[in-house]
Amino acid sequence: DGGITQSPKYLFRKEGQNVTLSCEQNLNHDAMYWYRQDPGQGLRLIYYSQIVNDFQKGDIAEGYSVSREKKESFPLTVTSAQKNPTAFYLCASRSLLGERNQPQHFGDGTRLSIL
Amino acid sequence: SQKIEQNSEALNIQEGKTATLTCNYTNYSPAYLQWYRQDPGRGPVFLLLIRENEKEKRKERLKVTFDTTLKQSLFHITASQPADSATYLCALDITGGGNKLTFGTGTQLKVEL
């Protein structure tokens, strides 16, 4: 089945540690997105990418980094500079073909907590 | 500043009634508006899209309206069922927004027997 796979489902970070969240899609979508979701704050965009080897900062990029070396993969690194990393992280992808009305397809998220 | 507002209070309704959720926005010029459903611990799932030149869109028990003058979208679920209980998010696709969506905070719907 086509879809987006995020791993791990739960992740714990120690102080001063970088952690990487995986996001893989087999939908052949060009665009991929990372969101952070906190209670009562909805989804906030961290980074997005519309093509391999290119990505743009979203609204809350500080303390995060990404790479887009392959079309299928868009990993997110939460660095030690992110002082409040505890949240639910969602990855999404979207087709950029055809009309500009394509929905985003989401993975089932990674819940990150601080030890 | 740009804002998307959804009712932060949970909406509780009885089974069989029509649920109406509201999405208001300010200082945006959306080309499209989308509605998603999110269950606890899961990613959002796309439900419906409506374009700026459309007034209404239907899909089975779902109906969305879009009033660009009022800057408001209404999302209706008719003949609601307990299985409709979830959080519903609206998202704006803004003209010139670079293929990004801006999401509202979501409204939790609870359908009771």
User: DSSP code of B84?
Assistant: G
Helices (H) and strands (E) in chain B, counts: 0, 11
CA neighbours closer than 13 Å in the CB half-sphere of residue A27: 23
**How many whole angstroms separate alpha carbon A61 and alpha carbon A83?**
13
Nearest to B31 by CA among B102, B93, B75: B93
The verdict on a CB contact (< 8 Å) between A103 and B106 is no
Q: Which of A42, A50, A107 sits opposite B99 (nearest CB)?
A: A50
Over its length of 115 residues, how does chain A's per-residue pLDDT go in tens digits? 669 999 999 999 888 899 999 999 999 999 999 999 998 778 999 999 999 999 999 999 999 999 999 999 999 999 999 989 999 999 999 998 877 778 999 999 999 998 8
Residues of B in contact with A93 (CB under 8 A): none
In chain A, helix, strand, coil percent, each to 5? 0, 50, 50
The token pair at A66 is 């990404």
Q: Which residues of A touch B91 (CB under 8 A)?
A: 104
Largest interatomic CA distance in chain A: 45
Taking an 8 Å cut-off on Cβ atoms, the answer to whether B43 and A33 are in contact is no
Q: Is the pLDDT of residue B24 over 70?
A: yes
Residue B47 CB coordination number (10 Å): 17
Residues of B in contact with A31 (CB under 8 A): 99
What is d(CA B47, CA A77) in angstroms, rounded to the nearest whole number? Answer: 30
**Is A31 an interface residue toward B (CB < 8 Å)?**
yes
B103, A42: Cβ pair inside 8 Å? Answer: yes
